[in-house]
């Protein structure tokens, strides 16, 4: 066996795996959706993709150091002129540095085409919300069943009855995540069971998380209002907005958060 060959082959496999996990993380939904709906692709959750990406980053770093060690002469030869004199900033090195800086600066300054690529990724990430929905409040999956019902105004006894009728095994003190894991479902599944039954009795539930990522038009849809009606309500608060404006940017323009505006509109934040 050759350690030099093992190093090169491990580098190649690590790059392939990191590229794959990088793509998965690029298109994965935000954590609030991934955790709420138990999002998975090919049997791995977003958290697991992140863990694999991180550990392989360490492996590829070690392999890169070994690769440089075993290929020091060829690498240094790239930084020599025709007279075999060492010149760090050869034309090839300058091109490599410029290319690296273009990607770094382009990403940080959010200029085209980097901004278009990143916005494309954000579009994919946010599209998952239409399929999976969002939690009624941040990190709802970490709340105990008792606390969750209290925050949403669900009768705890009725909630327990609904879950038992649907063969969900639970303890009121358990978090929604724990109950979901024990029953091989998602926290979202448990919430939907309760939501459907309480909505039948006329109780309206509106999810107020993730509004900052949405446009004014999308927020209006979430609130079950027409876009014009919602914009009029905002105008009554002294907030000007158009349908395609990002709700977070609208709020920040008036030194408020999206939730500040929702509270001013009369919506209650879960406590």
Alpha carbon 40 to its chain's center: 13
Q: Tell me: do 153 and 188 sit in the same domain.
A: yes
Q: Is residue 110 one of the residues assigned to a domain? A: yes
SS (H, E, C) 110-137: CCCCHHHHHHHHHHHHHHHHHHHCCCCC
Domain limit, last residue, from 165, 200, 235: 200
Q: Is residue 183 one of the residues assigned to a domain? A: yes
Q: Tell me: do 120 and 167 sit in the same domain.
A: no
Q: Tell me: do 192 and 243 sit in the same domain.
A: no
Q: Is residue 269 one of the residues assigned to a domain? A: no
The residue with greater pLDDT, 126 or 121, is 121
- pLDDT value at position 150? 85
Domain limit, last residue, from 87, 114, 132: 132
- Mean per-residue pLDDT for 206-234? 81
Q: Is residue 253 one of the residues assigned to a domain? A: yes
- pLDDT value at position 248? 86
Tell me if 190 sits within 8 A of 197, measured CB to CB.
no
Cα distance between residue 119 and residue 113, in whole Å? 10
To the nearest 10 degrees (0 to 180), the angle between helices 46-70 and 3-27 is 150
Angle subtended at Cα 144 by Cα 200 and Cα 126, rounded to the nearest 5 degrees:
70
Looking at the predicted structure, is the pLDDT value of residue 12 above 90? Answer: yes
Q: Which stretches of the chain are DSSP H helices?
A: 3-27, 31-37, 46-70, 72-77, 91-109, 114-132, 145-152, 156-165, 176-182, 187-200, 216-222, 227-236, 247-253, 258-264
Count of the separate structural domains present in the chain = 3
Q: Is residue 206 one of the residues assigned to a domain? A: no
Q: Tell me: do 174 and 257 sit in the same domain.
A: no
Q: Tell me: do 122 and 37 sit in the same domain.
A: yes
Give the domain range for residue 120.
3-132
Cα distance between residue 241 and residue 250, in whole Å? 7
Q: Is residue 190 one of the residues assigned to a domain? A: yes
Domain limit, last residue, from 200, 220, 241: 200
Confidence grade of residue 190 (pLDDT, cut at 50, 70, 90): very high
Tell me if 56 sits within 8 A of 18, measured CB to CB.
yes
Q: Tell me: do 45 and 162 sit in the same domain.
A: no
The residue with greater pLDDT, 269 or 193, is 193
Q: Tell me: do 34 and 108 sit in the same domain.
A: yes
Q: Tens digit of pLDDT for each residue in 51-90?
A: 999 999 999 999 999 999 998 888 888 777 776 777 777 7
- pLDDT value at position 204? 56
Q: Tell me: do 38 and 126 sit in the same domain.
A: yes
Q: Tens digit of pLDDT for each residue in 227-265?
A: 888 888 888 888 898 888 888 888 888 888 888 888 888
Q: Tell me: do 250 and 171 sit in the same domain.
A: no
- pLDDT value at position 7? 92
Neighbours of 186 (CB within 10 A): 21
Length of the chain: 271
Confidence grade of residue 203 (pLDDT, cut at 50, 70, 90): low
Residue 66, SS3 per DSSP = helix
The residue with greater pLDDT, 224 or 40, is 40
Q: Tell me: do 7 and 112 sit in the same domain.
A: yes
């Amino acid at each position: 066996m050759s350690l030099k060959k093992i190093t090169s082959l491990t580098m190649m496999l690590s790059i392939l795996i990191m590229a794959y996990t990088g793509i998965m993380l690029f298109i994965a939904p935000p954590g609030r959706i991934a955790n709420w709906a138990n999002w998975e692709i090919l049997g791995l959750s977003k958290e697991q993709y992140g863990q694999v990406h991180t550990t392989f980053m360490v492996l590829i770093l070690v392999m890169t150091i070994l690769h440089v060690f075993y290929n020091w002469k060829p690498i240094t030869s790239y930084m020599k002129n025709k007279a075999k004199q060492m010149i760090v900033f050869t034309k090839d090195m300058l091109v490599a540095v410029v290319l690296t800086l273009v990607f770094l600066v382009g990403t940080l300054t959010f200029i085209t085409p980097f901004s278009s690529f990143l916005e494309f990724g954000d579009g994919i990430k946010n599209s998952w919300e239409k399929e999976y929905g969002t939690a009624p409040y941040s990190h709802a999956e970490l709340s105990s069943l008792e606390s969750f019902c209290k925050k949403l105004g669900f009768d705890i006894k009725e909630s327990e009855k609904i879950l038992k009728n649907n063969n969900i095994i639970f303890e009121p003190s358990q978090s929604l995540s724990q109950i979901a894991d024990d029953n091989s479902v998602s926290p979202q599944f448990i919430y939907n069971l309760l939501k459907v039954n309480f909505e039948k009795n006329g109780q309206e539930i509106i999810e107020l998380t993730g509004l900052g990522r949405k446009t004014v038009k999308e927020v209006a849809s979430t609130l079950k209002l027409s876009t014009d009606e919602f914009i009029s309500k905002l105008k009554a608060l002294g907030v000007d907005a158009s349908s395609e404006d990002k709700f977070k940017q609208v709020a920040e323009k008036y030194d408020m958060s999206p939730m500040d505006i929702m509270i001013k509109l009369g919506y209650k934040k879960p406590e």
